[in-house]
Amino acid sequence: MDVGIPNEQNPTEHRVGLTPAGVRLLVQMGHRCHVERGAGLGAGFPDESYEAAGARIVYATSEVYARSDLVLKVGSPTKNEIDMLRDGQTICAFWHLATRPREVIEALLRKQITTVAYETIEREDGTLPVLAPLSDIAGRMAPQIAARWLQNDGGGSGVLISGVPGVPPVEVAIIGAGVVGLSAAQAFRRMGAQVAALDINLEKLQRIDQRFEGTVPTMVSYDFNIARAVERSTIVIGAALIPGERSPILVTREMVRSMRPRSLIMDISIDDGGCVETSRLMTHDDPVFIEEGILHYCVPNMPGVVARTSTHAYLNAAWPYIQLIANAGNGAAVESNADIARGVPIHGGEIRNPRLAALINGD
């Protein structure tokens, strides 16, 4: 099979669709790999390392798409890239199709391609193996980002997360106790913050309680509990996720107004639309804004700026699926592996994900 690794088109996306080590393994299996010049530089992989692994370096994104049966990306393809697709291709990426415009979905259906959405590859037990390491990274990044923007020179209220003797630490409310929430709770606790976690899933709250031996208060995420936690917190982390769907709005504008001025909201759910009513999409180059007197950090693809770590992390998890698709072929891999099948929203001109179908049909 011909496998292509193009440059990422988003200027703040520094990860790459496959490492030189992955290329070497595919070439040893008899596949051909076409890597666009400079595709791995952001993650620290020069063209020479891909050539040494057996890849052919090509000089245009269009050439990668023209030559490849399987395209390995990180970010969702742009409209320009979608125009380059051809019938029968498989594209692996973090698609987040529930937040893409309807015309993008319609273009993919016309192209007769297979979309493998890394974020919705799902095991029988409901875990998301490829998304999980990136969620873990985002949670671990949250305190270091929060500390920066809470400083006076970041526009924040001038508080130190850990506090000092005689001055208490900040309070943090984490809404969503999945992988992001658990990792964020652990990272904030290590910095000395007072942390509370909210979720609708009691098993996740039990996991938080056990992990932190009762030192992190937990609440069911009813609206009145969320309102109370938001009002008393200096940092609110939005980490709500429904795989394959837009994130629900859990923090209302009224709740945001109740926070102390120049507090901070980090809506990590922004990849899937955001769970805070006042959120809007930002970038790593322009990451924050103030709404209702509260600083908002709403940047998708947070792990994209720790590109080397996050490239290795997600590809460690994605490799078994990439290998299966390359060896078995596009259609056979979808039909033979239930994890992959659950992660394929569009295949052969049809929407296979019922949640996406309901969204498109307005149900």
Contact status, residue 185 vs residue 216, Cβ threshold 8 Å: yes
Radius of gyration, alpha carbons of the chain: 21
Catalytic residue, from 271, 272, 296, 347: name it: 271
Contact status, residue 142 vs residue 181, Cβ threshold 8 Å: no
Tell me the angle at which helices 131-150 and 307-328 cross, rounded to the nearest 10 degrees.
160
68 contacts: CB under 8 Å, gap ≥ 6: 2, 3, 4, 34, 89
Catalytic residue, from 96, 199, 272, 347: name it: 96
Please choose, from the candidates 148, 118, 143, 144, the residue with its C-alpha nearest in 3D space to the C-alpha of residue 133.
118
59 contacts: CB under 8 Å, gap ≥ 6: 36, 37
Contact status, residue 270 vs residue 138, Cβ threshold 8 Å: no
Q: Which two tokens stand for residue 316?
A: 């460690």
74 contacts: CB under 8 Å, gap ≥ 6: 8, 13, 15, 16, 17, 93, 94, 304, 311, 314
Decide if 96 is catalytic.
yes
Write out the catalytic residue numbers: 96, 271
